[in-house]
Amino acid sequence: MQTYARLPVSFVRGEGAYLYDEQGEAYLDALGGIAVCALGHAHPAVTRAICEQAQTLLHTSNLYGIQNQQALADKLCDISGVDRVFFCNSGAEANEAAIKIARRYGHHRNIDIPHIVVMENSFHGRTLATLTATANRKAQQGFEPLVEGFIRVPYNDIEAVAALARSRDDIVAVLVEPVQGEGGINIPSPGYLQGLKQLCEKHQWLLMLDEIQSGVGRTGRWFAFQHENIQPDVLTSAKALGNGVPISACLARGHAADILQPGTHGTTFGGNPLACAAALAVLESIERDNLLARIAELGAYMLSGFQTALSHYTAGANPAITAIRGKGLMIGIQLQRDCADLVKLALAQKLLINVTAGNVVRLLPPYILNDSEAERIVETVSSLIKQFLATP
């Protein structure tokens, strides 16, 4: 169906940070399948794990024990501080599981119509419940009736959440991205997540972090919340977790981890041996190659590169570039005006980028970039933005 207005290119092969089209032309990939191919394309360890698993066992169903699902769950618990994991196949599905946990948690507390606090500019997926949680009126239009039980407040506004706590007694959880991705690489002020955590603890709400885009190393820690010294009750992960093999996870700790019991939730494909083998190889590779430190280093290098190259456009009372933001390899450059055309201009330079929220150039490059690839991204994107701003 016509769900995407596609760009006029098809890729037939990938290797490291590059994709190759049908003519064999190489494109430097600064988007990584929208934060998915974090180890680059055709990563040897992931490829090996997939091949070996495919020769051994693809699928058995969740009616039986799955060894590498258990190993992956143990590893995820270890790196994130949670107690249990439910595996599924997409980001939206992981958030659906989180929403179901929150509702059931509410019913345990005798709240008949449980409400979840969500944020402006958020993105949580395209299923009916996650679309309702998503703050994009255009994406919701035509799909009404939406799902009951969500209350929206501005992002990065702790007082707005505190005010809800004073006025309502039907709230059970807060669902928030520690860094908003689709919303424009919005990074909240230091202390915001801690403030949410305190409110959640005080009012017995679950703090549910959507780390589908920001997790699995993207910001230089395993999960973005780890910059803030807090622990969520529920955490969702997808995208980079399988480096291209569909897998997602809803992780939970404490009481939240015990809410889903046999018969309350399920999935046919979720956590199958193939997907878990790929995800295990992803986590092992990030660890073995010490990539978390490298992500932080690359991110800082690229961010300061952009700040220097574009400083002329960020200064003054009415700057053409209103912000350059980044956390690890999640980088956003916000222009004053809409700039979707930059995607095609970059494509012509054999560079893959994205524009989100209308006016934010979004870069989500793979963690395996070398210095000269990072430099090429900074130089090409900066000069394209300058050219773009020079035309009315």
177 contacts ligand PLP (rule: CB under 6 A): yes
Catalytic residue, candidates 29, 239, 306, 327: 239
Distance CA 197, CA 187 (A): 17
DSSP-based three-state secondary structure for 352: strand
Residue among 223, 358, 363 nearest 305 (CA):
363
Q: How far is the CB of 280 from ligand PLP (least distance, A)?
A: 20
Instruction: Spell out where the chain has E strands.
Output: 11-15, 18-21, 26-29, 84-88, 115-119, 150-153, 171-176, 206-210, 234-237, 248-252, 321-327, 330-335, 351-352, 354-356, 360-363
**How many amino acids of this chain bind ligand PLP (CB under 6 A)?**
14
Q: Are strands 248-252 and 234-237 parallel, antiparallel or unpaired?
A: antiparallel
Q: Is 123 a catalytic residue?
A: yes
Beta partners for residue 351, in sequence order: 28
Q: Is-contact 129 114, C-beta < 8 A?
A: no
Near ligand PLP in 53-112, by CB under 6 A: 90-92, 95
- Nearest residue to ligand PLP by CB is 91
Contact with ligand PLP (CB under 6 A) among 97, 238, 331, 343: 238
Contact with ligand PLP (CB under 6 A) among 41, 124, 197, 362: 124
Q: Is 327 a catalytic residue?
A: no
The residue (of 237 and 380) whose beta carbon lies closer to ligand PLP is: 237
Q: How far is the CB of 36 from ligand PLP (least distance, A)?
A: 9
237 contacts ligand PLP (rule: CB under 6 A): no
161 contacts ligand PLP (rule: CB under 6 A): no
Instruction: Give the N- to C-terminal CA distance of the chain in Å, as an integer.
Output: 35
The residue (of 246 and 305) whose beta carbon lies closer to ligand PLP is: 246
Catalytic residue, candidates 210, 223, 306, 327: 210
The residue (of 124 and 197) whose beta carbon lies closer to ligand PLP is: 124
210 contacts ligand PLP (rule: CB under 6 A): yes
Q: How far is CA 246 from CA 52, 94, 187, in A?
A: 17, 12, 27
What tokens does 339 get?
């700039």
Catalytic residue, candidates 29, 75, 86, 123: 123
Interacting residue ranges for ligand PLP, rule: CB under 6 A: 90-92, 95, 123-125, 177, 181-182, 210, 212-213, 238
For the annotated catalytic residues, the residue numbers are 123, 210, 239
